[in-house]
Chain A
Amino acid sequence: MKRAAFTNRWLPILLLLPQMAIIVVFFYWPAWHALTSSFYLQDPFGFSETFVGFANYTSLWKSAPYARAASFTVVFSLLVTFLSLAIALLLAVKADKVIKGAKAYRTALMWVYAVAPPVAGVMGIILFNQSWGPLTRFLTMLGWDFKLGVNYYDTAFAMVLVSVWKQIPVNFIFFLSGLQSIPKSVREAALIDNRSASGRFWDITFPLLAPTGFFLLITNITYSLFDTFGVIDTLVKGEPGNNPMTLVYKVYVDGFRGNDMGGSSAQSVILMVLVLAMTIAQFRLVERRIHYT
Chain B
Amino acid sequence: MAQVTLSGITKTYPNGVTAVHPASFSIPHGEFIVLVGPSGCGKSTMLRMIAGLEDISAGDLHIGARLVNHIDPADRDIAMVFQNYALYPHMSVRKNIGYGLKNRKIPQAQIDQKVAEASALLNLDDYLDRKPSQLSGGQRQRVAMGRAIVRDPALFLFDEPLSNLDAKLRNQMRIEIKALQRRLGVTSVYVTHDQVEAMTMADRIIVMNEGRIEQIGSPSEIYHSPATTFVASFMGAPPMNLLHGEILNGMAQIGDLRLAAAPKAASGAVVIGLRPEDITPDAAGPLMLDIALVEELGAHRLLHGSLLGQPISLHVSKDIAASTGPLRASFKPETLSLFAADTGVRL
Give the interface of A toward B (CB within 8 A). 183, 185-186, 188-196, 199, 203-204, 207-208, 210, 292-293
Q: What separation, in Å, do the CA atoms of A128 and B339 have in the docked complex? A: 82
Whether the pair A183, B103 counts as a contact (CB closer than 8 A) is no
Surface stretch bound by A, among B58-66, B67-75, B199-207, B229-237:
B67-75
> What CA separation (Å) do A196 and B102 show in the bound complex?
12
Chain A residues, CB < 8 A from B103: 193-196, 199
B197 CB to nearest A CB, Å: 20
B51 and A190 contacting across the interface, CB-CB below 8 Å: no
Which 10 interchain pairs have the tightest Cβ spacing?
Answer: A195-B74, A185-B86, A193-B100, A189-B86, A194-B103, A185-B82, A292-B89, A207-B90, A192-B73, A191-B73
- CB <8 Å contact, A208 and B90: yes
Specify which chain B residues have a CB less than 8 angstroms from the CB of A203 in the assembled complex: 99
| List of B residues within 8 angstroms of A183 by Cβ | 84, 86
Tell me the nearest residue of chain B to A203, going by C-beta.
B99
With the chains together, A208 CA to B132 CA distance in Å? 14
Contact indicator A190/B88 (Cβ below 8 Å):
yes
CB<8 Å pairs between A and B, sample of 27: A183-B84, A185-B83, A186-B88, A188-B53, A188-B73, A188-B80, A188-B82, A189-B80, A189-B87, A189-B88, A189-B147, A191-B53, A191-B74, A192-B52, A192-B73, A192-B79, A192-B80, A192-B100, A193-B74, A193-B99, A193-B100, A193-B103, A194-B100, A195-B75, A204-B88, A208-B89, A208-B90
Query: Across the interface, do A185 and B89 meet the contact criterion of CB distance under 8 Å?
Result: no
Q: Does B34 contact A (CB under 8 A)?
A: no
Contacts of A292 in B (CB 8 A): 89-90, 131, 133
CB atoms of B99 and A194 under 8 A apart: yes
Q: In the bound complex, do residue B82 and residue A189 qualify as a contact, i.e. CB atoms below 8 Å apart?
A: yes
Give the nearest-CB partner of A190 in chain B.
B88
8 Å CB contacts to A: which residues of B88-124?
A: 88-90, 99-100, 103
For the complex, what is the distance from the CA of A208 to the CA of B48, rounded to whole Å? 24
* Docked complex Cα distance between A160 and B74 (Å): 42
Total number of residue pairs linking A and B with CB closer than 8 Å: 64
Contacts of B133 in A (CB 8 A): 292-293
Question: CB-CB < 8 A to A189: which residues of B?
Answer: 80, 82, 86-88, 147
A208 CB contacts on chain B under 8 angstroms:
89-90
User: What's the interface size class on B, roughly?
Assistant: 20 to 34
B262 interface contact, C-beta 8 A: no
Question: How far is B99's CA from A43's CA once the two chains are assembled, in angstroms?
Answer: 69
B218 to A: closest C-beta gap in Å: 30
Please measure, in the bound complex, the distance between the C-alpha atom of A190 and the C-alpha atom of B131, giving whole angstroms: 17
- Residues in B whose Cβ lies below 8 Å from that of A190: 88
The docked-state distance in angstroms from the alpha carbon of A207 to that of B90 is: 7
Which B residues touch A204, using CB under 8 A?
88
Query: From residue 7 to 27 of chain B, which have CB atoms closer than 8 A to chain A?
Result: none
Residue B78 lies at the interface, judged by CB distance under 8 Å to chain A: yes
Give A192 to B80 CA distance when docked, in angstroms.
8
**Considering only CB atoms, which chain B residue lies closest to A207 in the complex?**
B90
Residue of B nearest to A211 (CB): B90
User: Whole-angstrom distance between the alpha carbons of A199 and B131 in the complex?
Assistant: 21
Q: Name the residue on A nearest B131 (C-beta).
A: A292
Point out the residue from B72, B79, B131 that lies within 8 Å of A195, measured CB to CB. Answer: B72
Contacts of A194 in B (CB 8 A): 74, 99-100, 103
Measured in the bound complex, the distance between the Cα atoms of B82 and A183 in whole Å is 12
Query: Closest residue to A293 on the B side, CB-wise?
Result: B133
Minimum CB–CB distance for B17 against chain A, Å: 16
CA distance in complex: A173, B128 (Å) = 36
**In the complex, how many angstroms separate the beta carbon of A202 from the nearest chain B beta carbon?**
12
Closest chain B residue to A291, Cβ basis? B133
Given contacts A191-B72, A194-B100, 16 further A-B contacts (CB under 8 A): A186-B86, A186-B87, A186-B89, A188-B86, A189-B80, A191-B52, A192-B52, A192-B78, A192-B100, A194-B103, A195-B72, A195-B103, A199-B103, A208-B90, A292-B90, A293-B133
